[in-house]
Structures are given as structure tokens and as C-alpha cells.
């Protein structure tokens, strides 16, 4: 088996539906000893655990059944099939599926990876260097490109769903909202993607979206890594749109054909913002870096850069050059506390919550209503 492959076939073929497939269960969960709880995914709690037979440390994800009357949730079946079918060095490896004492108690066994970038960024005293950001983004884009070439859209890209090993390898995880899609016009639910990373077409209620929603989220991640704080930390969907408009300027039919046909567009009443503040927001970023950010955060999803296109962007071929994964810094793992120790520790605040006021103050300063400066670019 090659290191990069998808068992469902060639990249041009869309995967088969997973809704009616049965869940294979292999070993009992009693083969594993839970060490501590390390997080919670979209559809389940995640534990660090140890295989009693081999001593291998793994991540054990309990599938949440509280909303399901009959069998395993369809979302978990989708996640299972996608992870079983696809193997890539930058996608977390699903090792097996195990069952608990009850028939409805099911666990996914994943490789254990030491850090998630959300917690790591919160605990770092200094931000990643730009060469390190480039290393992380190249790995993320490789994972996204692989998924998209196999007709899979992740739909929940965010820092806490990006794992980082002590060898500097990034792993994309939590496929609870991921699904296969078709290369033709199909309606999907727009209520996906964590709010701060949600593309404008989703915020405007558009149901026939494409894999471009992942690229918008990736652009938000790039901005967050560069700034060491959330790029667009909205509290509500309307405020999220307002922050987007303030950063990029207000969209129009000229730059985003079809905007007026978006289901929620007639209900939007926000002050017109004719200028983009991207350059002011990233004053130290090169022209190539700004160009990549603008292409990832492009209003029109049909013009938004693809993952493969982003990988070829000049930004990654200019100084400072991307670090190799093995040259990335190492950090103490936040997951090494025992279950008892973890119970004594306070719950971590919501991602970025302690910095939200600082971020909002930054936006208030940046978006000066008195007029443009030399760093403000008129939109459209």
C-alpha cells in the first residue's frame, strides 16, 4: 500500500454512499486502559489510552449515541468510511474499531498525536515563526488537496482539528462533519464549519456549496497562525459577516456574481465598507503572502484558490523558506496528565476566549471610519 492512496479508487471517481453500510467491530475496548480525557470531537469524546497487550499509546474516541435510536449515527459511519478508505501522512490514522460492554458502545482507535494546534497556540509564549507557519500550512494543504482530489470535503477545518506530532508532522483529524460530495449541483446543509472559519456563502445560507468552503477555513487558519490570535472571532453569524466585510470590504455582484441570489442576502443590513484592510491587518506579510491570503479569502467560491493551487503559490518559495517538519520546535504534551490529575485541573476556556476582547479592540482600531489610509485598498 502506498503512503498516499484512497482505497475507493482513482481521484476522478466519487466515493460510494456510506449511509447503508454496516459498522465492522473488531476488538473489545477492554484491551485498552484509559489514561485521561484529551478532548471532544464533533461527535464523540476522545481519550488517551494504552493497549494492554502491546503497550501502544492511542487516542480512543467514543462515538456519541445520545441522538441515535437505532445503531450508529450516519455521521460516524461517514467518518469511519472516509478514514478507512484514505491513507495520507497528514491525515490521522484510524487503527481499528472496538466495542464496549454494551452493543451501542463503540470506539474508534486512532494513532496518538501529542498536540492539537488550538491548545498549543493558546499555551505558546511566542508565536510560530513564519518559516514554521509555512511548514504547517504546506502539510495542511497537502491533506486538503488529497481529500478534494478524492471528492471529500472536511467541513470543519480549525486549529483544534489539526494535530502536531513531536516530529513536526501535522495531522488533520475529526471527520465528524466530513462527507463525500459530487462534482455537480447538489444541496447540502449550510450549518457546518465552526463559526470563526465559516465561509461567507455558508453564512448566507447557500446550500450548493463546494469544497471551496475548506479553502476559506484554511485561509482563516493561515491568518490565525500568523497573528497568533483568531482572525475573525464572531459571536453570531451576523457579527461574523460584519467582521468579514470590515476586513475584506463589502461584497458586490461585480466581484461575486450570484451574491444577490444568496438566500439570506436580502436580510443583510450592514454598513457599506468600500475598503479592504488586509494589508493593515498583516503589515509584515510579503506581497506574495498577502496575495495568497486574498486568494484563500476570496468572496466568490468559484474564484477561490484550490488547495493544489495554493501549494504551488510563490509564497512558499520565498524567504523565509518553510522549515522541514523535523526542524520544527518541540513542546511538552498537554495530554500527559492522568485521569485523576485532569479532573483536578480547571476546564480550558473556549478556544481564544481569553483573547477575544483584545481581538475586538484590534478590529475597532483597524477599521477607522474616518477614511482610508495608504494601506487600505478599495474593493471592486
Residue 53 backbone phi and psi in degrees, to 5: -85, -40
Cβ pair 137, 84 in contact under 8 A: no
Residue environment code for 107-144, b if the CB has 16+ CB neighbours within 10 A, otherwise e: bbbbbbbbbbbbbbbbeeeeebebebbbbbbbbbbbbb
116 is catalytic: no
- Sequence-distant (6+) residues with CB within 8 A of 84 are 7, 94
Identify the active-site residue in 116, 122, 156, 214.
156
In whole angstroms, give the CA distance from residue 195 to residue 197: 5
Phi, psi of 132 (to 5 degrees): -75, -40
Query: Would the annotation count 61 as a binding residue?
Result: yes
CB 92, CB 163: distance < 8 Å = yes
**Distance in angstroms (rounded) separating the CA atoms of residues 25 and 219:** 38
3-class DSSP state for residue 120?
Answer: helix
Paired with 107 in beta bridges are 62, 98
Nearest to 224 by CA among 305, 313, 165, 157: 157
Burial class (CB in 10 A: 0-12, 13-18, 19+), 34: middle
> Could you tell me which residues are annotated as the binding site for ATP?
61
Q: Catalogue the active-site residues.
A: 156
Amino acid at each position: 500500500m502506498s503512503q498516499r492512496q484512497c482505497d475507493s479508487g482513482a481521484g476522478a471517481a466519487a466515493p460510494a454512499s456510506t449511509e447503508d453500510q454496516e459498522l465492522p467491530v473488531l476488538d473489545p475496548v477492554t484491551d485498552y486502559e484509559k489514561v485521561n480525557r484529551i478532548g471532544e470531537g464533533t461527535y464523540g469524546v476522545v481519550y488517551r489510552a494504552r493497549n494492554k497487550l502491546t503497550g501502544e499509546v492511542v487516542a480512543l474516541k467514543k462515538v456519541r449515541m445520545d441522538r441515535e435510536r437505532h445503531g450508529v449515527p450516519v455521521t460516524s459511519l461517514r467518518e469511519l468510511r472516509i478514514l478507512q478508505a484514505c491513507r495520507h501522512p497528514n491525515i490521522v490514522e484510524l487503527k481499528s474499531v472496538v466495542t464496549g460492554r454494551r452493543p451501542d458502545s463503540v470506539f474508534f482507535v486512532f494513532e496518538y498525536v501529542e498536540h492539537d494546534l488550538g491548545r498549543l497556540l493558546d499555551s505558546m509564549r511566542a508565536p510560530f515563526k513564519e518559516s514554521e507557519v509555512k511548514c504547517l500550512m504546506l502539510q495542511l494543504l497537502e491533506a486538503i488537496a488529497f481529500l478534494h482530489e478524492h471528492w471529500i470535503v472536511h467541513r470543519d477545518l480549525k486549529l483544534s482539528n489539526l494535530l502536531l506530532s513531536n516530529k513536526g508532522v501535522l495531522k488533520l483529524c475529526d471527520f465528524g462533519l466530513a462527507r463525500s460530495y459530487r462534482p455537480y449541483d447538489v444541496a447540502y446543509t449550510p450549518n457546518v464549519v465552526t463559526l470563526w472559519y465559516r465561509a461567507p456563502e455558508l453564512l448566507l445560507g447557500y446550500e450548493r456549496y463546494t469544497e471551496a468552503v475548506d479553502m476559506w477555513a484554511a485561509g482563516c487558519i493561515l491568518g490565525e497562525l500568523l497573528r497568533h490570535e483568531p482572525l475573525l472571532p464572531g459571536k453570531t453569524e451576523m457579527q461574523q459577516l460584519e467582521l468579514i466585510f470590515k476586513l475584506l470590504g463589502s461584497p458586490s455582484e461585480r466581484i461575486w456574481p450570484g451574491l444577490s441570489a444568496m438566500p439570506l442576502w436580502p436580510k443583510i443590513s450592514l454598513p457599506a465598507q468600500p475598503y479592504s484592510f488586509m494589508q493593515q491587518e498583516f503589515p509584515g506579510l510579503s506581497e506574495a503572502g498577502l496575495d495568497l491570503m486574498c486568494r484563500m479569502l476570496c468572496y466568490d467560491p468559484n474564484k477561490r484558490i484550490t488547495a493544489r493551487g495554493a501549494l504551488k503559490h510563490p509564497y512558499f518559495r520565498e524567504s523565509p523558506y518553510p522549515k522541514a517538519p523535523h526542524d520544527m520546535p518541540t513542546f511538552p504534551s498537554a495530554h500527559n496528565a492522568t485521569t485523576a490529575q485532569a479532573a483536578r485541573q480547571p476546564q480550558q476556556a473556549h478556544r481564544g476566549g481569553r483573547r477575544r476582547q483584545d481581538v475586538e479592540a484590534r478590529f475597532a482600531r483597524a477599521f477607522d471610519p474616518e477614511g482610508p489610509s495608504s494601506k487600505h485598498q478599495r474593493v471592486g
